[in-house]
Amino acid sequence: MTETTAQQDPTPQRPAHTDDPEYAANLRRATLASSVGSALEYFDFALYGLSSALIFNTLFFSDLDPAMGVVAAFASFGVGFAARPLGGLFFGTIGDRIGRKWVLVVTILLMGGATTLIGLLPTYEQIGIWAPVLLTVLRLAQGFGAGAEQAGATVLMAEYSPVRRRGFFSSLPFIGIQLGTLLAAVVFTFLSSLPEDVFLGWAWRVPFLLSFVLILVALFIRMRLRETPTFVELEKHEQVAERPIREIFTKGFPGVVVGIGLRMAENGGSYMFQNLALAFVAGTFIANPVDRGVATWGVTIGSLIGMGTIPLTGHLSDRFGRRAVYRFGAVFMLLYAFPAWWLLSQGDPATVVVVIALGIGIAVNTMLGPQCAMLPEMFGNRHRYLGVAMAREISAVLGGGLAGVLGAYLLATSGGNWLLPAIYMATLALISTASTFLVPETRGRDLLRLEDAVNVSTDEGHDRDADLPVATAAR
């Protein structure tokens, strides 16, 4: 059989049915492994983002005036996003060549280890310019590991999930995102209520050091995980890509571009509500600043709402399609952007909490739910890990990475004009809305297929076997 024929006709064996005890056990392990990793990643990133918004300007950039100190703190936050595409490219290539499991073991060590070390850093007052330099280096390491962590969790769950409920099952680990964000917000809210000298003296270090515990838990779970069924099929038929980078920048490039567009509103909007909004209402940008402890309650409540909206919208995408649900979330954010930022500018504490909570819980997470299955379904089996990683991490730079530093700069140079971040958020939402028209419906797509969804017609994008009661995402 020629290589071309083999790629077109993988002749896979039927995977186990949903009532197979071994399959059920592997699905539980995959869900737990992905959830703990997601929780750790977003605990780390939410913690760093909250610190950038509220205290890092004082601890590591104290030689600057307060407004520009916030800009510098968000710049260090954005540096981590610059490292994420490199991490995604490096680890995504390995994930498509040797499998998903071991990449997830390495990335959790790198990402969590860097976060733990941040909790041990001396401040600017103690070692001067070396403090922000070391902070930036660790942020780069954190971003490099995170560049493949979430992509790996996304691919892992999509490839393990039952076809007809792939949207729901793929979204379950992303409750870990909300748990991680929630944990960071709760811990930060509690610590920020301590006396200023205690909080800025040693208490801020505690949540960073807690990452070490999550690393141990994640490692224990992931070492017991088995490789995904779809990658096993690739190995069985000797179809593993030898040069996944070349494939992704030729055959897979259209899918990467569409994936980037889809994530601009979800990722950028998330960091704008979690971080930039807090810096806006608790800093010097408005006449009546809100207490930072009160403002973080918006993130806390939004994360709680997201624990319901993510699996709900994942389930709805199984019934009504990925595109329809995703488009609803993007349009909601578009309509929400201007009233949200105007209300934030008023400085009313209760309103601030509600606006941030709805922004995170509804606007952002309505897109995240269907995205968990949609991105893996967009890419062929030979370069799926790398494709998802590139789409996620390049969008993380363009959406999330720029959201903080560019938003803070716009606010600082405009005297806190709320209209500028509103326009920025609406632009991100428009890009994501337009992107939903550029991809065919992927619900139920056969994940053993080697071609990308954007390279076939809309009808071909839907799996002919979607209604069969099979247990894995492979068929």
Over residues 221-227, the mean pLDDT reads: 73
Q: Encode pLDDT of 43-71 as tens digits.
A: 877 787 778 777 787 788 777 767 777 77
**Lowest-pLDDT choice from 60-64, 123-127, 160-164, 449-453:** 60-64
Look at residues 257, 271, 242 and name the one whose alpha carbon lies nearest to residue 382. Answer: 242
**Is a pLDDT exceeding 60 seen at residue 347?**
yes
With tokens 């006449």, the residue in question is: 287
Q: Which pLDDT band holds residue 240 (cuts at 50, 70, 90)? A: low
For residues 326 and 436, is the Cβ–Cβ distance under 8 A? yes
Domain residue ranges in the chain: 22-461
Give the torsion sign (CA, 218, 142, 50, 361): negative
The Cα-based distances of 294 to 192, 226, 475 in angstroms read 10, 43, 48
With tokens 């510098």, the residue in question is: 72
Q: Encode pLDDT of 81-139 as tens digits.
A: 778 888 888 888 887 777 777 787 888 888 888 888 988 988 888 888 888 888 888 88
With tokens 């990452």, the residue in question is: 211
Query: What number of CA atoms fall less than 13 Å from residue 290's CA on the CB side?
Result: 24
Which residues in 52-63 are b (16+ Cβ under 10 Å) and which e?
bbbbbbbbbbee
C-beta atoms surrounding 390 within 10 Å: 28
Q: How far apart are the first and last CA of the chain?
A: 23
Cross-strand pairs, 17: 470
Output the six-digit token pair for 356: 């941030």
Instruction: Give the span between the Cα atoms of 327 and 314, in whole angstroms.
Output: 13
**Is a pLDDT exceeding 60 seen at residue 14?**
no
Instruction: Give the span between the Cα atoms of 420 and 33, in whole angstroms.
Output: 40
Mean pLDDT of the chain: 81
Output the six-digit token pair for 56: 């890092």
Instruction: Give the span between the Cα atoms of 368 and 362, in whole angstroms.
Output: 10
The CATH architecture to which 22-461 belongs is: Up-down Bundle (1.20)
Alpha helices in 199-286 (DSSP H): 205-209, 211-222, 229-236, 244-248, 253-271, 277-282
DSSP string, 9-41: ---PPP--BTT-HHHHHHHHHHHHHHHHHHHHH
Instruction: Give the span between the Cα atoms of 243 and 366, in whole angstroms.
Output: 35
